[in-house]
Copies of this chain bind each other. A is one copy, B any other.
């Protein structure tokens, strides 16, 4: 399965990359790639963000501003970027606080259509 290779490419390709995962909206991990010794629980993080994403999706549906594409959350110690793959799955990338946010967004945007094909 070439998923983890794609995820490794994203994480290694961005400064401050900690880990990436392909997740279902049900909170189930499809695949993941983590750098060694991540400073936070990236499993838990991805599961929790599945819940957030469901809430954002509901909101976006109410607002009628088109399909959701990307959600990002910055906290004191992390940057998380979530990119929708299809109606079932999404990509999560976690960066250090001062990681290269723009490049992370770019790599996810590139990867999503390829993963969509692989998952269909």
Label chain A's interface by main secondary structure: mixed
B78–A73 touching, CB < 8 Å: no
Residues of chain B within 8 A (CB-CB) of A64 are 40
A15 to chain B, nearest CB (A): 16
Number of interface residues of A (CB under 8 A): 30
Residues of B within 8 A of A65 (CB): 40, 45, 75-78
Q: Are A44 and B69 interface neighbours, CB within 8 A?
A: no
Check: A117 CB closer than 8 A to any chain B CB: no
- A62 CB contacts on chain B under 8 angstroms: 44, 48
- CA of A48 to CA of B58 in the docked complex: distance in angstroms? 10
| Interface locus among A1-9, A24-32, A49-57, A85-93 | A49-57
